[in-house]
Structures are given as C-alpha cells and as structure tokens.
Amino acid sequence: MEAHRVLVVDDDNYIRLFLQETLEGKGYKVDLAEDGEAALAMVADNPPDLVLSDLKMPKKDGLELLKDIGTLEQPPGVIIITAYGTVETAVKAMKEGAFDYLTKPFSITEIESRLSRYFEINKLRRENRDLKKQIRAQQVRTDMVGESPTFLKVLGIIDMVSGSDAPVFIQGESGTGKELVADAVHRRSDRANLPFLQINCAAIPENLMESTLFGHVQGSFTGASKTTKGIFEEANGGTLLLDEISEMAIGMQAKLLRVLQEQRFTKVGSHKPIDVNVRIIATTNRNIQEIVNEGKFREDLLYRLNVVPVYVPPLRERINDIPLLLEHFVSQFCDKYGKPTKTISTATQRKLETYNWPGNIREMKNNTERAVLFAGDADALGIEHFFPPEIPTHTGTSPAINGNRTIAEIEKQAILNTLESTGQNRTQAARILDISVKTLRNKLKQYGLESSSSTQTASS
C-alpha cells in the first residue's frame, strides 16, 4: 500500500526536521512548510492525507489554516500542535474540525499513536462510505430489472453520474420509469441521505408555480396568510425532481434559469436572496427539441438542464426484458398478497411479448397485479387474467391482434376509450392515462376533437 503523505507545518525549523525524521522513520512521506500561508498553497496544489500543524505561527496561524482547509472540496485531516498553556485554544480548534491535538513537549510514541489512530478511523469511514454506496447500488439493481443493451446503457449512465452533482435530463414515454431513474440517481449520490423532493410542473397552476418553487412571505399576495418555504428551500442540500418540465410556462422558465445559474433565489414578496445547493433532475415525456423549435421552451434552460441526458426506452425497444419484468412483478405481487408463486403459460408469454404496451412498465406492473389477483388459486396466469374481457384496455383490443397498429393509433384509441369509460371526465381520464389534463386537451386538439369534447367538464 502507498505510504501516507503528511504535511508538517511549524515555524520552528528544529521541530520541522525532528518530525520529518521521526515520521519518515515510520514509513510516512513528509512535506514541510514554515507557516500557514505556505502550507495552504501546498494543500491546494497537492493535498496531503494529513496536516500536522503548530498552533502559533506568523502570517497565518494554525487555527486560520484549519478554517481555510475546511473550505476545500476534499479537505485533509488536521492535527494541531500546541504548547501546554494553549490547550484551551486547541480544544477550540477541534470544534472547528481538527481531528486531534498534540501538547508540547511530546514523545515519538505519542506522535505515532495519534497518526495511527487518525488513519485507522479514516479507513473505517472510507469503508463505511463504500459499503453504503454498494448497498444503494444493489437497491437500484433490485428495483430496475433488465438486460437489454438500451436498458444497460441507462444503468451505465446512472453509475457514471452517481458521484457528481451534474443536472440530469430524463426523456421517455409515460410509464417507462423516468421517476425510478431519478430516484436511482439520487440514492447512488452523496446526497442520498438528504431530501429528494419532486413536483409535477404540469399539475401546478401557472400563478402558483413561483410560490411553489421559491416560497412567499406573509402578505405578498391575496391569501398569503403566512411566510412559507418553497420546494427549493425544502430540498436544500438534496435533489429536486422537476417532473414534466416541458409543461412549465415560458415566463417561469426564465426565473428558474436564473436560480440555476446563480444558485440563489428570493421568495415571492421578498428582496432577501437565499443561497441554495440543490441537484436538479428534470423529466419530460415529450420531444423537447420540438418544443424548443416551437418557441415554447427556452433553449438556454435546456442547455442548463441537459448536462447529462438520459433516454429511457419504451418496452417495445427492450422486448428481451419483458420476460424478466413479468417474472419480477409476478413474484413481487405473489409475495405482497401471500400467494404461492405463479407461472405464466407459454401461450400467454408469447402474447405479452408481442403486445405494444402503450403504458409501458407502469401498465405491465398494474396488469400483473390484476392478473395475480384475478387468477385466484390458479397456478398459471393466462391472458384473460392480464386483460379480462369485462375491463376495457388502453387499446380496446386484445394483445394478440394489435400488431399492425401504429403507436399514434394506439395512443389515440387509448385516450378515446378511457374518456368513454370515464363518462368524458377528463381529470379522471388523465389520471388513468398518467398524463396531465393539459396534455390530454392538447391531444384532443391534435385529433380535431377538442370542440366536441369541450362541453364536458374536468371535474372529478
């Protein structure tokens, strides 16, 4: 194993040379600095594993050096050397982050003991961090099932960005698991034990969006009876998921961009800036470049968000994963409902593999739960358990006979069937389809059906 590097900082040349000879004799690599300023420059240029610093020095004393080192991204440990009369100051240094202190005069045994203790504890801390990362990685692998190349690419990106704070922009159809990817990115990051909050940008009225994001002060607008925190403040230190970011109003996009650039915001009705440290993950189920081209989404905001792009493939692009996912969900729901593990008949498996799954993994998960319940005591699950004839499917047709339909046709039929089954209740239909009411309205306009449906209300 490579020898640990120790930086000795003392204005007394005799002490510096004594410590250098002693530590090198114990197998350490030793650098020397005669004051705090020189030491800080050395730490910034080539950080040692440990700093052994005198407390009283000209130019920059040990306490000032300790504080400056503490501002570095990955600060080394610090042990303070102090004379007998300044032990109280050394204790103060420990409160500022020093690992330990040595009182002059000290013996070689004391020096060796302090350094050995530091590196043993530091090793345990590092092993503990590594173990937590392994556990989080295993949790991700457990929740995310698949081995197709397109899916493994997603897992590879999650692994790649886990140690960074880079913004992540996730695109994919509804039901593909974008939120699961966002959760995996958070849980594998160093922010895993800090807040992970999310908002659906399509579900918040435009006039409430700014307050929702940044909070407001009492009296800032009608109904603002008290000062509240926004989700940025609540998520400080952690991760914030902006779901369906493409539905955010263009004016609000400009304010969001400024916050992301400056890492600070002000509450509605306030002039006092608040610093914030939040990792941003954004998702959309739409073609974001088309929306940019239409002038409905700011290109500069997209550049800011799209540092790490992730495309989550639909099930039709990862057909080889369908058997694995079905097995995973069948096992999950048999355990949930206390049923013996069920199998899927070969004929049913083939039909499910050729089905388009317009609702993707979410649809598969829901239908598998239904199948386990509807199968009762049967050992094998049949197609009638996944798609009971008395329950309309998104496509209004059997998985066995829809192979020649385009995705656009399937989507349109799913929307029309769902509206029919809910009595034209748009709010309920949007909830079932897992899209926003605004998206549903846009789809109806696209089909030329908005005028005929506009008389129906969206009330629940």
d(CA 349, CA 88): 74
Which among 307, 324, 306 has a CA at the least distance from the CA of 315?
A: 324
pLDDT value for 138 = 52
User: Could you tell me if 324 and 406 lie in one domain?
Assistant: yes
192 and 284 part of one domain: yes
Q: Please, which contacts does 41-48 make with residues 24 or more away whose CB atoms are closer than 8 Å?
A: 42/7, 43/7, 43/69, 43/72, 43/76, 44/72, 47/72, 47/74, 47/75, 47/76, 48/5, 48/6, 48/7, 48/76
Question: 392 is in which domain, residue-wise?
Answer: 317-453
Say how far apart CA 329 and CA 307 lie, in whole Å.
33
pLDDT at 393 over 70: no
Among 305, 308, 313, 316, CA closest to 285: 313
Q: What is the per-residue pLDDT across 422-457, written as a single tens digit (0 to 9) for each?
A: 678 888 777 767 788 888 888 888 877 765 434 333
Is 400's pLDDT higher than 50? no
Is 101 part of any domain? yes
Helical packing angle, 346-354 and 322-336, nearest 10° = 120
Residue 396: predicted pLDDT: 43
The answer to whether residue 134 is domain-embedded is no
pLDDT digits (tens, 9 = 90+) for 207-245: 889 999 999 888 888 777 788 899 999 999 999 999 999
pTM, entire model: 0.60
Task: Give the N- to C-terminal CA distance of the chain in Å, as an integer.
Answer: 67
The predicted pLDDT at position 401 comes to 39
* Residues facing 6 on adjacent strands: 30, 50
Q: What pLDDT does residue 397 have?
A: 46
Query: How many independent structural domains does the chain possess?
Result: 3
Question: How far does Cα 353 stand from its chain's mean position?
Answer: 31
User: Is residue 132 domain-resident?
Assistant: no
Are the C-beta atoms of 414 and 422 separated by less than 8 Å? no
- Residue at 416 is within a domain: yes
Tell whether 156 and 295 lie within a shared domain.
Answer: yes
Phi/psi at 237 (5° precision): 95, -20
Same domain (yes/no): 40, 107: yes
Average pLDDT of the chain to the nearest whole number: 84
- Whichever domain contains 83, its CATH number is 3.40.50.2300
pLDDT tens digits for range 37-78: 899 989 888 889 999 998 888 888 888 888 888 888 778 999
Domain end point (choices 278, 313, 348): 313
Q: Are 183 and 192 in contact (CB under 8 A)?
A: no
- At 191 the three-state DSSP class reads coil
Q: pLDDT tens across 303-338, in order?
A: 999 999 999 999 989 988 999 999 999 999 999 889
pLDDT of residue 122: 85
pLDDT in tens, 277-295: 999 999 999 999 999 999 9
| pLDDT single digits (tens) 128-178 | 766 665 555 555 445 688 889 999 999 999 989 988 999 999 999 999 999
Distance between CA 253 and CA 249 in Å, rounded?
6
Asked if 333 and 200 sit in the same domain, the reply is no
What pLDDT does 105 receive?
82
Last residue of a domain, one of 93, 125, 157: 125
Examine the domain organization and report whether 165 and 58 are in the same domain: no
Q: How far apart are alpha carbons 10 and 201 in whole angstroms?
A: 57
CATH for 407? 1.10.8.60
Do 53 and 88 reside in the same domain of the chain? Answer: yes
In a domain, 247, yes or no: yes
Q: Write down which residue in 266, 287, 313 finishes a domain.
A: 313
Confidence (pLDDT) at 248: 95
195 in any annotated domain: yes
Pair 266, 399 in one domain: no
| Alpha carbon distances (Å) from 320 to 156, 349, 352, 400, 444 | 18, 12, 12, 18, 34
Task: Note whether 242 and 293 are same-domain residues.
Answer: yes
CA distances 117 to 71, 110, 306, Å, are: 24, 11, 44
Which long-range contacts does 245-249 make (Cβ < 8 Å, 24+ apart)?
245/201, 245/282, 245/283, 245/284, 245/305, 246/201, 246/284, 246/286, 246/288, 246/291, 246/296, 246/297, 247/201, 247/202, 247/436, 247/438, 247/439, 248/201, 248/209, 249/206, 249/209
309 with 322, same domain: the answer is no
In this structure, are residues 306 and 169 in contact, taking their beta carbons and an 8 Å threshold?
yes
> Nearest-5° angle of CA 32, CA 123, CA 63?
40
Whether 138 is in a domain gets the answer no
Same domain, 432 and 353: yes
User: Is residue 459, in this structure, part of any structural domain at all?
Assistant: no
Q: Residue 197 is part of a domain; what is its CATH number? A: 3.40.50.300
**120 shares its domain with 182:** no
Beta strands, E only, 294-418: 308-311, 343-344, 380-381
